[in-house]
Amino acid sequence: MDYRVEKDSMGEIEVPSNVYWGAQSARSLIHFEIGWEKMPREIIKAMGILKKASAIVNAELGKLPAEKAELIIKACDEVIEGKLDSHFPLSIWQTGSGTQSNMNANEVISNRAIEMAGGVMGSKKPIHPNDDVNKSQSSNDTFPTAMHIAAAEEINHRLIPAIKNLRDTLKKKSEEFADIIKSGRTHLMDAVPLTLGQEFSGYVHQLDKALERINLVLPGLYEIALGGTAVGTGLNTHPLFAEKVAAEINKITGLPFVSAPNKFEALAAHDALVFAHGALKTLAASLMKIANDIRWMASGPRCGLGELSIPENEPGSSIMPGKVNPTQSEAMTMVATQVFGNDTAINIAGASGNFELNVFKPVLIYNFLQSVRLLADTCKMFNEHCAKGIEPIREKLNYYMNNTLMLVTALNPHIGYDNAAKIAKHAHKQGISLKQSAIELGILTSEEFDKYVRPEDMLGPK
């Protein structure tokens, strides 16, 4: 492999000739060969967005020559489009401020701009990674800005549509199942009737509330730290830079980003991301409930509950022929488990800032973006490969509904709790129906029982 020699404030270092990264990225690759987790593509794109916005605003404010800004903007567009992704090789496990990744972006944009200008890569002429690409910026405000841009874009463009699609499918199922009466279950035991549609309406409302909570946390993510520079004071920026660069990022992304009203908080803490991930964790809890219910109701085919039929997507066993498993539910519950773990990591990272800077930024945003990606993907897969194909098994639903002892609850207003309990216990002990039990005990006649115990009249207040 051919190498070129680049310089930074610590001296010379060899860099592969065919890459756009420079000296500080090369040092990071040596010192942080930890794990396989690389900086997410979403952060790389966000860096391109904020560097482009900064170049535009610096040029408008007379801080950067127009010809330099034009070169930087062209290189940033390639970063945003993903054309230069292979030149961002750095590990998540690096400096806690994300400084190496900020410099990785500065070096890649600088060297690509130099190449466009016909210059020599690594020369820092005509575009310097610090003086030009990083003008009016610090790693301490660029990386948290990239965190918020990436989080907001992924939630808006990936997660929310996936939740809505799953919610709409479950809503359609709820309406289709509106007339199917079934036995309820509480404590995993028989309970009073409801409709399958009512049961599914609970899942729909869980996702409606999840969307509400996610929309509630977005305003905090729209506040960006850019303009705070090193400690939040805005040293080395134009007085108008922070507001203007936020407006420019707003234009580029189409999302309502604003300059954070207090840059000290924006650099030193990540409460907005901790709060936002709480909404993601709650969504994960909802999805685990929904997935578990559906796989229990679909359990069988002969020795389980067998109330629902779900799509048969793949063979379920390497030894048991014909076995098919509820794999979409299993995947969804595993995703939920991972999100719960990510939440713990994010809580610790968010709580661990010291004085003017939180230095757990890369691990925090890595886990956050993983949660968004996993939740969006599992909603999409569950919707396409499970929810859309859910069908009721009416015979089994009717069997359970007609044989549940908890239909006796309808008798409470007529004969009292104690007499109703006698009927249920006698029926269970003798293995007979509630109606037979009521007649044997002399508490009700056949006609009275039929008058009072009507499952279709037990589905709401009367």
List, by residue number, the catalytic residues. Answer: 187, 317
CB-based contact 180:81 (threshold 8 Å): no
Q: Residue for token digits 């007609």?
A: 402
DSSP code at position 405: G
Positive or negative, the Cα torsion across 107, 111, 116, 117?
Answer: positive
- Whether 96 and 358 have beta carbons less than 8 Å apart is answered as yes
Which of helix, strand or coil describes residue 186? strand
Residue 95 and residue 31 in contact, taking contact as beta carbons nearer than 8 Å: no
- Read off the DSSP letter of residue 17: T
CB 62 within 8 A of CB 72: no
C-alpha 184/C-alpha 191 separation (Å) is 5
Taking alpha carbons only, the member of 242, 237, 224, 252 closest to residue 52 is 252
Residue 324 is classified by DSSP as -
Q: What is the DSSP pairing of strand 258-259 with strand 308-309?
A: unpaired
Give the count of alpha carbons within 13 A of 309, CB side only: 8
What region does 11 belong to: left with phi over 0, alpha with psi -120 to 50, or beta?
Answer: left
Strand partners, 186: 189
Give the other-Cβ count within 10 Å of 383's Cβ: 20
